[in-house]
Amino acid sequence: MRMKTLYISALFAALAVCQTSAGEWRDVEPENLVIMDVSHGRVLIELAPQFAPGHAERFRALVRSKFYDGQSFYRVIDGFVAQGGIGEGDDKKSAGWPALKSEFDRGTGVNLDFSPLGSPDLFAAQVGHIDGFPAGRSPKEKRMWVLHCPGTLAMARDNEPDTGGTEFYIPIGHAPRRLDRNLTAFGRVLDGMQFLQKLNRGDPKVESGVIQDAEKRDPIIHVQMATDLLEADRPRVQVMDTMSKAFKDYKAQRRNPAPEFYKRPSHNLDICAFNAPIRIGKEITD
Amino acid sequence: MRMKTLYISALFAALAVCQTSAGEWRDVEPENLVIMDVSHGRVLIELAPQFAPGHAERFRALVRSKFYDGQSFYRVIDGFVAQGGIGEGDDKKSAGWPALKSEFDRGTGVNLDFSPLGSPDLFAAQVGHIDGFPAGRSPKEKRMWVLHCPGTLAMARDNEPDTGGTEFYIPIGHAPRRLDRNLTAFGRVLDGMQFLQKLNRGDPKVESGVIQDAEKRDPIIHVQMATDLLEADRPRVQVMDTMSKAFKDYKAQRRNPAPEFYKRPSHNLDICAFNAPIRIGKEITD
């Protein structure tokens, strides 16, 4: 009898996923699927070359060169971000990887399908989903970008824009939307956020959260691109087509939640609390 | 040289905290300070009787009766909530603790000091801080309530409003603001969210996230009220006075972040990404 509280919301998410047809999902392309093994489990990330082609290409190249293997999450601030790579002050190690031109946003001229959330936003003129990624859009400026939601993959940098190139971070708390269009976001975690949440934290008041004791930094064990595995070994992951009727229905369900439980529904949605559903392996029923 | 990215934002938070005077902080009252030891570390929670007196009183009584000691976090959904207590379907165990009358919001007649955030919100007419708690307010309805931000302490319930009384939950992902005024929020985690983030998760698609294998549920080892400890043994915790100049300055800093780094500042703040600072033990410099 107890605790149906969140039962309801979880149930509705499950329903939306069950009632779909195969055509309402897309397979994540193996060349965009990153498999990152950390101490606590496996994290699957989808790269977003449609938003940041230079960063997606660089990340693929870094993964293939085994750049991250054996490195660590050295700067982890609870409620904010987990940052991984070779670590601060170790620029020399990345000498072979010059800084990238930033890709904070992109012209809407590439004409990607945008599924508007239908709620206002505190930071962007419009928010919605593009290929499952939480996206902002400015019709006036004709720009679009990936939002800093929990699980977004982005590139750290120094003060000036074109100074990042190897060190990545992933928001692990309430969305730090103030970073939108100030840093390059180029992917999102599809599965395994729970394993990033288990990473050891630094003290945000000391050296901006860099974990001082290197032994306490959780390792990045091994990172691979799915496309480099034998087809039979690749994880199969699907993202709900965010232009589909299934996704539209899911949005409507969340906007009008079960009245048996929600006596005061809010109707507005918050983009970073509303992710495009995914399904993995055996959950795929086509 | 690398990764000043979030360095800047952390630095500013630290500055705001350093430049304060003793009068700009308040000690958390021992009768509102909950000390919860979980497998990964110690969590400190402040109760908010000014918003939900019945729930604060009940929680204190449960803690003192050792109700939670040896129980577990049995329903943990990554990106959503960690729910603790005796577990679903075990109503009989809580027979001595009748359901509480819900306290979803409270009349503003009690006249608590409200420090407006100064940004719009997707869910509440007004948002800001009251005694350090993230709060919503409706001048029209003359009601106020604690918001469902990460770290908020709230009481789970069945479908009907007055059906909760022992099982608590704490949001651990992007704020589930749709729960505001639908459940009773009555406190917030001041320290130790990182230890709740390490809790084992359930599968949200199975039994709404209840961890099926009881052995995988992280225990609630021991919960105490600070007031029941010898004075010398009580943790000393302070929350920045959210009516103080220091807090106003901190807000202004976040609204106008360092232009060396932020080339496109957003100026709007999101209430759940802007917590009242705290300091603990040796950090207290009065």
- Write the residue in B9, B174, B180 that is nearest to A175 by C-beta: B174
**Amino acid identity at B39:** S
Whether A125 is covered by a domain: the verdict is yes
Task: Check residue A2 and give its pLDDT.
Answer: 42
Confidence at B20, pLDDT banded by 50, 70, 90: confident
Whether B149 is covered by a domain: the verdict is yes
Any idea which residue has 């996230």 for tokens? B209
- Which residue is closest to B1 within chain A, CA to CA? A89
Task: Check residue A10 and give its pLDDT.
Answer: 46
Q: Which of A33-37, A64-68, A86-90, A253-257 has the lowest mean pLDDT?
A: A86-90
Question: Given an 8 Å threshold on Cβ–Cβ distance, is B262 in contact with A77?
Answer: no
Question: Given an 8 Å threshold on Cβ–Cβ distance, is A6 in contact with B79?
Answer: no
HEC readout, A95-133: CCCCCCCCCCCEEHHHCCCCEECCCCCCCCCEEEEECCE
Q: How far is CA A125 from CA A106, A116, A242, B286, in A?
A: 15, 11, 19, 45
% of chain A surpassing 90 pLDDT? 86
Contacts of B121 in chain A (CB under 8 A): 122
Whether B74 is covered by a domain: the verdict is yes
Contacts of B90 in chain A (CB under 8 A): 2
- What is the pLDDT of chain A when averaged over all its residues? 92
- Which residue is closest to B261 within chain A, CA to CA? A159
Question: Given an 8 Å threshold on Cβ–Cβ distance, is A11 in contact with B208?
Answer: yes
Question: Given an 8 Å threshold on Cβ–Cβ distance, is B264 in contact with A193?
Answer: no
Interface size, chain A vs chain B, as Cβ–Cβ contacts under 8 Å: 219
Question: Given an 8 Å threshold on Cβ–Cβ distance, is A14 in contact with B204?
Answer: yes
- Average pLDDT estimate for A200-228: 96
Task: Check residue B91 and give its pLDDT.
Answer: 56
Whether A182 is covered by a domain: the verdict is yes
Task: Check residue A20 and give its pLDDT.
Answer: 77
- Which residue is closest to B157 within chain A, CA to CA? A3
Contacts of A123 in chain B (CB under 8 A): 266, 268, 270
Contacts of B10 in chain A (CB under 8 A): 77, 80, 204-205, 208-209
Whether B261 is covered by a domain: the verdict is no
DSSP string, chain B: ----HHHHHHHHHHHHHHT--GGGEEEPPGGGEEEEEETTEEEEEEE-TTT-HHHHHHHHHHHHTTSSTT-EEEEE-TTSEEEEES-TT-GGGGTTSPPPPP-S-EEGGG----EE--S--SS-SEEEEETTEEEEEETTTTEEEE---TTEEEE---SSGGG-SS-EEEE-SS--GGGTTTSEEEEEEEE-HHHHHTSPP--TTSGGGB-SSGGGSEEEEEEEEGGGS-GGGSPPEEEE-TTSHHHHHHHHHHHS--TTT-SS------GGG-PPPEEEGGG---
Q: Is the pLDDT of residue A134 over 90?
A: yes
Any idea which residue has 């651990």 for tokens? B172
Any idea which residue has 């505190």 for tokens? A122
Whether B203 is covered by a domain: the verdict is yes
E runs forming strands in chain B: 25-27, 33-38, 41-47, 72-76, 81-85, 106-107, 115-116, 126-130, 133-138, 143-146, 152-155, 168-171, 184-191, 218-225, 237-240, 278-280
Q: Is the pLDDT of residue A89 over 90?
A: no
- Write the residue in A3, A123, A208 that is nearest to B83 by C-beta: A3
- Which residue is closest to A84 within chain B, CA to CA? B3
- Write the residue in A81, A150, A163 that is nearest to B6 by C-beta: A81
- Write the residue in B5, B183, B268 that is nearest to A156 by C-beta: B5
Task: Check residue A1 and give its pLDDT.
Answer: 31
- Which residue is closest to B178 within chain A, CA to CA? A266
Question: Given an 8 Å threshold on Cβ–Cβ distance, is A257 in contact with B177?
Answer: no
Q: Is the pLDDT of residue A72 over 90?
A: yes
Confidence at B110, pLDDT banded by 50, 70, 90: confident
% of chain A surpassing 70 pLDDT? 91
Whether B200 is covered by a domain: the verdict is yes
- Average pLDDT estimate for B5-31: 68
| Cα–Cα dist B176/A79, whole Å | 15
Q: If we measure between CA atoms, which residue out of B233, B232, B242, B238 comes closest to residue B286?
A: B238
Task: Check residue B17 and give its pLDDT.
Answer: 55
- Average pLDDT estimate for A171-191: 98
Complex confidence, ipTM: 0.94
Strand pairing class (A33-38; A41-47): antiparallel
Whether A18 is covered by a domain: the verdict is no
pTM: 0.94
Contacts of B134 in chain A (CB under 8 A): none
Question: Given an 8 Å threshold on Cβ–Cβ distance, is A174 in contact with B7?
Answer: no
* CA of B61 vs chain A CAs: smallest distance (Å): 20
Tell me the CATH number at A42: 2.40.100.10
Question: Given an 8 Å threshold on Cβ–Cβ distance, is B205 in contact with A14?
Answer: yes
Helix, coil or strand: residue A39? coil
Q: Name which residue leads in pLDDT, A162 or A90.
A: A162
- Write the residue in B83, B262, B272 that is nearest to A182 by C-beta: B262
- Average pLDDT estimate for B43-51: 98
Q: Is the pLDDT of residue A140 over 90?
A: yes
Phi/psi at A31 (nearest 5 deg)? -75, -10
> Domains in chain A: how many in total?
1
Task: Check residue B31 and give its pLDDT.
Answer: 98
Contacts of B168 in chain A (CB under 8 A): none
Question: Given an 8 Å threshold on Cβ–Cβ distance, is A197 in contact with B193?
Answer: no
- Average pLDDT estimate for B26-53: 98
* Tens-digit pLDDT profile for residues B191-226: 999 999 999 999 999 999 999 999 999 999 999 999
Q: Which domain holds residue B185?
A: 30-235
Confidence at A19, pLDDT banded by 50, 70, 90: low
Task: Check residue A95 and give its pLDDT.
Answer: 67
Picking from B94, B103, B174, B280 by the largest number of A CB atoms within 10 A of its own CB, the best residue to mutate is B174
* Tens-digit pLDDT profile for residues B232-243: 999 999 999 999
Copy the structure tokens of residue B187. Answer: 């406190």
Confidence at A109, pLDDT banded by 50, 70, 90: confident
**By the 8 A CB rule, do B218 and B84 touch?**
no
Contacts of B14 in chain A (CB under 8 A): 204-205
Question: Given an 8 Å threshold on Cβ–Cβ distance, is A77 in contact with B10?
Answer: yes
